[in-house]
Amino acid sequence: MRGQTHAEWTKLRTGTGAGPLLLAVVALTAAVSAAAAAAATCPAAGCSHDVPRLGLIGVQAGQAVVAALAVLAMGGEYGTGMIRTTLTAMPRRGAVLAAKAIVLTGVTLVAGTVAVLASVLAARLILPGNGFTPESGHPPLSLADGPTLRAAAGSVLYLVLIALFSLGVAAAVRDTVTAAGVVLGVLYLSPILVRLVQDPDAQRFLYRISPMDAGLTVQATTGLADLPLGPWAGLGVLAAWTAAALLAGGLLLRLRDA
């Protein structure tokens, strides 16, 4: 297993694309979070914003780049035919997917942590200037605060799960562009669907099973009682999607001719 992981790490490290994409994850996440913080204002009368969630909103943009990175790690091999060399060298196909998952988890953890920390820092610096002051009930964003720490750590885990979900889909779909379209479609479909339906029960049900809405519940720090499911349970729903995608991808990788 060490050999496989090392091989996958070498591929990711030396191939073009991974470096710029990891940088893009950090830059896009932090930039969108900072822009949202700069555009948000809190009147003196107070406001009902979920501040940690607002400060971490860039994760919704960064996840698209994370998905692209993960899709390329698997699907890119099919584009170039490299997959045949890979499977010749490492005939245990499940191990190949596992090795890719390990490497992806590592790099996404690092990039995600940097991105989330940068977002929190940007929000902490920008928001007090826009009326989010202790007087209006919003102390500066701090990781010493339990729910904020949970939101930040949960966001990093969210990005890792998105990477693994995309890896599973790419292993199943094989074409990189199609896989990227499928992943982004599945992710961004759920907020639209939740708005589409009027029936509150159906709405809560869709929220509960959707990877993005449920997964991002881990960022919520206010009005938790009104949400259809708890923060960690929400991340668990995304984890279930990820497990299903990896399982399907792994099975298809074993069964199909490469």
- Per CB under 8 A, residues contacting other proteins are 17, 21, 28, 32, 35-36, 39-41, 47-50, 53-54, 57, 60-61, 64-65, 67-68, 71-72, 75-76, 79, 176-181, 184-185, 188-189, 191-199, 202-204, 207, 213, 222-223, 226-228
Shortest reach from residue 180's CB to other proteins, in Å: 4
Q: Which is nearer to other proteins, 4 or 183 (CB)?
A: 183
| 115 residue type, one letter | A
Q: What is the dihedral of CA 10, 16, 22, 28, to 10 degrees?
A: -170
Beta carbons of 59 and 29 less than 8 angstroms apart: yes
Q: What are phi and psi of 144, to 5 degrees?
A: -75, -15
Residue with tokens 């953890």: 109
Shortest reach from residue 2's CB to other proteins, in Å: 29
Beta carbons of 214 and 237 less than 8 angstroms apart: yes
Beta carbons of 198 and 174 less than 8 angstroms apart: no
Shortest reach from residue 144's CB to other proteins, in Å: 22
Q: Which is nearer to other proteins, 4 or 61 (CB)?
A: 61
Q: Which is nearer to other proteins, 102 or 184 (CB)?
A: 184
Q: Which is nearer to other proteins, 68 or 246 (CB)?
A: 68
Shortest reach from residue 124's CB to other proteins, in Å: 17
Torsion sign across C-alpha atoms 14, 15, 19, 25: negative
Shortest reach from residue 3's CB to other proteins, in Å: 27
Residue 242 to residues 169, 172, 204, 245, Cα–Cα distance (Å)? 9, 13, 21, 5
